Structure 1
Amino acid sequence: MRKTHRPLTTLALALSLFMAALEVTVVSTAMPTVIGELGGIEHYAWVFTAYMLSSTITVPIYGKLSDLYGRKPILLFGTVLFLVGSMASGLSTSMEMLIAFRTLQGLGAGAIQPVALTIIGDIYSLEERAKVQGAFSAVWGVAGLIGPLTGGLIVKYLSWHWVFFINVPVGVGTALLMMTFFHEQVHRKPQKLDYAGAMLLSAGVVALLFGVQGLGWNLWALPVALLLLFAFVQVERRVPEPVIPMSIFKQPAIAISSVAGALFSAAMFGATTYVPLYVQGVLGGSPTLAGGMITPMIVAWPVASVFAGRMLLKTSFRPLIVGGLALTVVGTLVMALLLKPDLPLIIPQIAMGLFGVGLGFASTALMIAVQTSVGWELRGVATASNMFFRTIGGVLGVGLMGGVIVSQLLKDPSIPVSAANSLLGPEHGHDVPPEMLKTLSGALSTGLTINFWLIFVLTAASFIAGLFFPRVSRGSGTPVSTADVAAPH
């Protein structure tokens, strides 16, 4: 058995997370311009939700597969699929094509972040894990700094298509390093993947996404989603190898981490999706300026994570979780109150920075708490399950806010929704009559303001959930074992 080269394996994992982080910042910056060129503002949310939905559905599946067959093959498969989706997205010539290929890209992304974080949990002890968190936080910080600027420059001097192509060299480098320097010994047992559970989960999440958009005609999807997800839980309680073992939620740390993570992720993805749209669509700002609005959050998050990892060596999880979530509430409240056309942008940027600091403290403590609560044989599925709740929160949050935008644009039936595409073009409404432009801009502004208040409500709910996190120290958790999972419920 060849020995894993930890430094170069860590570099490979850092590159994979850099690719995922760059995807968030660059695409968010470029998307208003994409809509201005391809049209389809009514489908704006779907460019994000298609990616997040496909990755959400596959996260727990990849987590389970990594426990069954090893981390390495699953991470490599996901990386290749992500790169194929990236290339295809960059070659898209219509919104329909872009949404379809973003779905493919998401199918690969579902393996990258949870499996990468699981490998870190495997090759480092708890104390080492807290320290190495600083290196991974630096990755997000660098991506947060260069992503918006890179996206703005690419859109200005090349074409939005290139925001997807820049993933390719990073992904190839990641794959080569992993194949060469990461080696694992997998203890394979006769096990079976829960296909019924995976299908019920996938169908339930899709139905839930349609339902939360709340445009009237698709409200039927909500009871269907509840029925499918109820059936999923019942199946998971009975099968020997569930996609998401229900027993892991007996641990209060895992259960509360899942709820709080879903809520603050909905707020975070909502901010990265709709703040750039506000800057370009309402304020008439450039793509670079739009990206600069979310930069403070994306940079502050990893910086705070560095301190969180060090503080965890001296304190318990709860102070970091409760304090961090409290900061997210303050930041999003200031943003909802003050993000106005006549306000200096430095003030909402400071609010976004506070939001990011709070996320850095809380999310780091929550993830390490989850990984500490289980043994090796369940660490993959536990990590992936936590990431699943975070990403499903993001999917549903962005979808809900997309429904708010479309409902506001549909209020005046005499004006087609497609006319709002001109708000995001390089001429910013040059080809639209002034009265229509004023109506569209007002509708978009109203919808986005509602969304900013929704973001605040989501962070407040996450803070309330965090108050219930148990008062336990780093070493006092009781890991869940495979015997617990196999037991009947």
Structure 2
Amino acid sequence: MKRTETKRPVVLAAIMLAMFMAAVEATIVATAMPKIVGDLGGFAFFSWVFSSYLLMQVVTIPLYGKLADIFGRKKVFGFGICLFLIGSFICGFSRSMEMLIFSRFVQGIGAGAVQPIATTIVGDMYSKEERAKIQGYLASIWGISAIVGPLLGAFFIEYVNWSWIFWINIPFGILSLIIILIFLQEKIDEQKQKVDYLGAILLFITVATLMFVLVQIDGSALLSTLQLVILLMVSLISLLLFIRHERKASSPIMTLSLWKRKVIRYSNLASFTAGAMLLAISTFLPTYVQGVLGQTPLVAGLTLTVISIGWPISSTIAGKMMLKTGFRVTAVIGGLALLVGGLCYFTLPFVAHPLIAGAGSFFLGVGMGFTTTTFIVSIQSSVDWRVRGEATAMNMFMRQLGGAVGVALLGGLLNKDLRSFFEQNQKELSVEPSINAINVILDESERSLLSTSELELLRVGLAEGMVTVFGSLFILSIITFVFIRLLPKDHNKQEKQT
């Protein structure tokens, strides 16, 4: 691609619009979920609203990355935006939890193309030194959306309807798509390559079956233990078949040889565990702040907002720092921030104050800013244009896969703890002693029908279940730091060795 042919500032603005759309989506949906559950019911399926979206996003990211290297960024980005907007549109019309989950599947299929392809376009247009600076600009979008998102979410919930938390994506998506189609000029090699659909199918089976098993850890009677074991075996076999197929495929969806490079291998592994932290907090923290701490949706949203305040600040600093101190030192600083954030969440059930939740989120944002910026720039600088889309998508894939697995696993553990709690205290409740009893404390009208003792009991149950979630987050922060410490000190030297 000739950089002079593309109007870089205009295209960058379109990319920032797309990133804003994705950032606002994350903030508003997480903040509004208690209200959605209160209207639609089905708290037992709470995590699937996020897992269904993440599942399709995860399994399509590598495919989109490969397609972008074959057919160009513009076509793949446009296709993804269109699907994302269709999914957003039908999400707003959902009148049951099952319909919402299906709509999120559709939305997730499109989301797999939005962020990784947008980031790849930046990698194409700018040099290594410029990328570090531009990543700071992109990260600032999270700060803006952090302020706008919770305010919009609170406004829609209070004065309009929660459907608008999905429909707000549509104008931003359309504008971004139009700009990209008009102003992004790219020249790709006209070469015929087979798309690795079999690899995509095997990857989908692997991830889908694994996530279903993790969600069922709650001990529900949906599937027997034997059936879950069979699903787990199917996931393992599919993974082995996927690896075997990718090694032999002429144009694999995931070039496994890239994992031989230490900077890619440990960046991806750290992205997996950090992604699990980020998505788990985005999913469960608002419910904890509202259901246990008794705060308003706006306060719950603000405890997430500070993630997006710490993220752009640290990302901007990281962009300048990595050019002077190197990738590893910058990433280690991010790893330390993640540790502090994980420690704050670990102490939250004992202190039980929204300020502690906000502090944890701020340090989580700082850690994500330092690490994600460093990972993306270092990976894109270590590969050729022909595999840059795939390498970028692979890192995004690992982060989103970590988020999907983390939400599914922690959601299953939370449901298991809640189920056990209600079985022990069923005589003290007038409502049905099931996981869906949590719906009551998230719905203001139903909450008023409970006695003070019953309401407090439900809050205690949710609080005890969240102890496992927050403890797991602290463990994830430790594992992430270990992976970051394993990054090579001089990745350019390391790449030559490998």
- TM-score tier, shorter chain, comes to over 0.9
Shift of 1:350: 1.9
Identity within the alignment, %: 39
Are residue 215 (structure 1) and residue 224 (structure 2) matched? no
Q: CA deviation at 1:435?
A: 4.9
Pairing of 1:297-336 with structure 2 (within 5 A)? 297-336=307-346
The SS at the match of 1:306 is helix
Given candidates 325, 347, 369, the residue that maps to 2:378 is 369
- Is 1:296–1:356's contact at 8 Å kept on the other side of the alignment? yes
1:164-243 aligned at under 5 Å gives the runs: 164-213=166-215, 214-216=217-219, 217=224, 219-220=228-229, 221-243=231-253
Amino acid at match of 1:16: A
Q: Which moved more, 1:130-139 or 1:212-221?
A: 212-221
Equivalent residues of 1:284, 1:428 under 8 A apart: no
**Partners of 1:370 and 1:382 within 8 A in 2:** yes
Q: Aligned residue for 1:439? A: 457
Verify the 8 A CA contact 1:372 1:477 in the aligned structure 2: no
Q: How far apart are 1:149 and its partner, in Å? A: 1.9
Paired position in structure 2 for 1:448: 466
Q: Work out whether residues 263 and 458 of structure 1, in 8 Å CA contact, stay in contact via their aligned partners in 2.
A: yes
Shift of 1:262: 0.3
Instruction: Describe the shift of the 1:113–1:477 C-alpha distance in structure 2 as closer, same or farther (beyond 3 A).
Output: farther
Instruction: Supply the distance in 2 between the matched residues of 1:358 and 1:418 (Cα, whole angstroms).
Output: 35
How many Å separate the matches in 1 of 2:437 and 2:354? 27
Match in the other structure for 2:14: 12
> Which secondary structure state, in structure 2, belongs to the residue aligned with residue 313 of structure 1?
helix
**Hey, what's the Cα distance between the residues in 2 that align with 1:279 and 1:464?**
30
Give the 5 Å matches for 1:306-455. Answer: 306-340=316-350, 343-411=352-420, 412-413=422-423, 414=426, 415-427=433-445, 429-455=447-473
Equivalent residues of 2:30, 2:286 under 8 A apart = yes
Give the residue type in structure 2 aligned to 1:290.
Answer: A
Residue 158 of structure 1 corresponds to which residue in structure 2?
160
CA distance in 1, matches of 2:59, 2:203: 7
SS in 1 for 2:240: helix
- Partner amino acid for 1:471? K
Normalized per residue, the structure richer in helix is: 2
Contact preservation (8 Å) 1:251, 1:373: no
Task: Write the distance in 2 (CA, Å) between the matches of 1:152 and 1:335.
Answer: 24
- 1-structure distance, mates of 2:33, 2:7: 39
DSSP 3-state at the match of 2:218: coil
Please point out which of 52, 56, 64 is paired with 1:54: 56
* Structure 2 residue corresponding to 1:79, chosen from 78, 81, 85: 81
- The alignment's C-alpha RMSD in Å is 1.8
**Equivalent residue for 1:487?**
none
Q: Which amino acid aligns with 2:381?
A: T
Q: Secondary structure at the match of 1:87?
A: helix
Q: Secondary structure at the match of 2:444?
A: coil
| CA distance, structure 2, for counterparts of residue 400 and residue 365 of structure 1 | 28
Separation in 2, partners of 1:25, 1:13: 19
Amino acid at match of 1:96: E
Q: Report the AA paired with residue 312 of structure 2.
A: P
How far the C-alpha of 1:278 sits from its partner, in A, is 0.2
Q: Which residue number corresponds to residue 251 of structure 1?
A: 261
Shift of 1:477: 6.1
SS of the residue 2:319 aligns to: helix
Letter in 1 for 2:134: V
Asked if the contact 2:345–2:473 (Cα under 8 Å) also holds between the matched residues in 1, the reply is no
Q: Deviations over 1:23-74 (max 9, x none)?
A: 1001111011100111000000000111111100100000000001000000
Q: Which AA in structure 1 matches 2:18?
A: S
User: Which residue of structure 1 aligns with residue 480 of structure 2?
Assistant: 462
Structure 2 vs 1, CA of residues 149 and 339 (structure 1 numbering), >3 Å: closer, same or farther?
farther
User: For residues 76 and 194 of structure 1, do their structure 2 counterparts lie closer, same or farther at Cα, with a shift above 3 Å needed?
Assistant: same
Shift of 1:430: 2.0
In 2: Cα distance, 1:224 partner to 1:443 partner? 34
Question: What code does the residue aligned with 1:451 have?
Answer: V
Paired letter, 1:277? T
Matched, 1:264 2:274: yes
Instruction: State the shift of 1:339 in Å.
Output: 4.2
Q: Which residue of 2 aligns with 1:115?
A: 117
TM-score, normalization by structure 1: 0.94
- C-alpha separation in 2, matches of 1:397 and 1:389: 12
Using the alignment, how far apart are the partners of 2:82 and 2:153 within structure 1? Answer: 23
Partner of 2:67: 65
What's the CA shift string for 1:9-33, capped at 9, x where partnerless?
1111111111111110011110111
Does the 8 A contact of 1:9 with 1:182 survive in 2? yes
Distance 1:278 1:258 in 2: 30
CA shift, 1:476, in A, is 4.6
Equivalent-residue separation in structure 1 for 2:452 and 2:318 (angstroms):
51
* Pair 142,428 (structure 1): closer, same or farther in 2 beyond 3 Å: farther
Does the CA-based 8 Å contact 2:136-2:316 persist in structure 1?
yes
Q: Is the 8 A contact 2:291 2:459 kept in 1?
A: yes
The CA deviation string for residues 240-296 of structure 1, in whole angstroms up to 9 with x for no partner, is 111101111011111101110000110111111111010111122211111011111
SS at structure 2 position matched to 1:208: helix
2:289–2:354 Cα contact (<8 Å) kept: no
Partner Cα separation in structure 1 for residue 446 and residue 460 of structure 2 = 14
TM-superposed deviation, 1:478: 3.9
Structure 2 counterpart of 1:292: 302
How far the C-alpha of 1:226 sits from its partner, in A, is 1.5
Contact 1:258 1:389 in 2 (8 A): yes
Number of equivalences: 479
* Cα deviation code 1:424-480 (max 9, x no counterpart): 11246223455543433222111112101111111110101111100115x556489
CA contact (8 A) 1:141 1:299 kept: yes
- 2:62, 2:393 within 8 Å by CA — same for their partners in 1? yes
AA in 2 matched with 1:437: L
Q: Is the 8 A contact 2:293 2:353 kept in 1?
A: no
Structure 2 contact 218–414 (Cα < 8 Å) conserved: no
Deviation track 1:155-205 (CA, whole Å, cap 9, x = no partner) reads 111111110111011001101101111110010212101121111100000
Structure 1 position 371, deviation (Å) = 1.0
Query: Which stretch has the larger CA shift, 37-46 or 146-155?
Result: 146-155
TM-score (norm. length: structure 2) = 0.93
Q: What is the CA–CA distance in structure 2 between the aligned matches of 1:479 and 1:343, rounded to whole Å?
A: 50
Q: Which residue of 1 aligns with 2:430?
A: none
- Name which of structure 1's ranges 423-432 and 135-144 shifts more when overlaid on structure 2: 423-432
CA distance in 2, matches of 1:127, 1:204: 38
Q: Is the 8 A contact 1:201 1:229 kept in 2?
A: yes
* Corresponding residue SS for 2:5: coil
